[in-house]
Amino acid sequence: MNKIILAISAVFLINSTMAQAEVKTFNFTYSGASFSNTANATGLITLDTNLITSGFQSIDISKVVNLSMTVTGANSGNGNFTKSDFGVIYFYSPIVLDFSRELVGQVLTGGNRFGGENGTLNFSGLNSAPYMSYYDALSSAGLVMKLTSLSVAAVPEADTSAMLLMGAGVMGFIARRRKQVAA
């Protein structure tokens, strides 16, 4: 009986620890179309949304859980890039954004919208990785791109998955225990 109580306590402890961190995966897209070029960048970034507050945020790459980016259509510098290709992530928004919907286009103070010079997601690339400036993205070929989409990816919440796995484990343990006692 003590093992069951211990297992249930562990489930609640893990869930409460996970609830403190709000780790989310965001899909993003940059496009050069508004600057009459064919450069594009798409990818995803996974991080704790508690790191993203209003104002200018410099997020050390070690605090980013996952990052992948693909650049296409540039004269050079096309390719796939991962977390190790970047040094710092910059996030700027004068207000706290609503993560339950598309971030680009959300109205900011003064009627401005996120995704322009008043709010954006930026990357500081290392070696041949793209460097995204504060307002626009520059591929290594020098083609300007603009952030056109940034939204939370539709993935199951980590704490929900962990709770399901833990619950299944506890139920399996109980069933096994009852089977041994009955025998």
Could you report the per-residue pLDDT of 129-159, keeping only the tens digit for each?
776 654 455 555 567 788 899 999 885 555 6
In a domain, 183, yes or no: no
Angular region, 136: left φ>0, alpha ψ -120 to 50, beta rest: beta
164 compared with 90, residue with greater pLDDT = 90
3-state secondary structure of 112: coil
Structurally, the chain folds into a number of domains equal to 1
Share of the chain above pLDDT 70, in %: 71
pLDDT confidence bin for 80, thresholds 50/70/90? very high
- Average pLDDT value for the chain: 78
CB atoms inside a 10 Å sphere around CB 114: 22
Instruction: Please name the residue ranges forming H helices in 93-137.
Output: none
In a domain, 176, yes or no: no
In a domain, 164, yes or no: no
Range with lowest mean pLDDT among 3-7, 43-47, 142-146, 169-173: 3-7
- The whole-number pLDDT of residue 18 equals 46
Q: Residue 117 carries which side chain, given as an amino acid letter? A: E
For residue 60, give Cα distances in angstroms to 87, 88, 90, 152, 155: 7, 5, 9, 20, 24
In a domain, 165, yes or no: no
Question: 2-41 pLDDT, tens per residue?
Answer: 555 555 555 555 555 444 678 999 999 988 888 888 888 9
In a domain, 105, yes or no: yes
- The whole-number pLDDT of residue 2 equals 59
In a domain, 149, yes or no: yes
3-state secondary structure of 58: strand
Whether 62 and 90 have beta carbons less than 8 Å apart is answered as no
Q: Which domain holds residue 53?
A: 23-155
Structural tokens at position 35: 């600057």
pLDDT confidence bin for 69, thresholds 50/70/90? very high
Share of the chain above pLDDT 90, in %: 20
- The whole-number pLDDT of residue 94 equals 87
pTM (2 d.p.):
0.70
Stretch 47-56: mean pLDDT: 87
In a domain, 139, yes or no: yes
Range with lowest mean pLDDT among 9-23, 30-44, 89-103, 166-180: 9-23
In a domain, 121, yes or no: yes
> H/E element holding 40?
strand 40-48
3-state secondary structure of 118: coil
Stretch 41-63: mean pLDDT: 89
Q: What is the DSSP letter of 33?
A: G
| Residue 27, Cβ density class (10 Å: 0-12 exposed, 13-18 middle, ≥19 buried) | middle
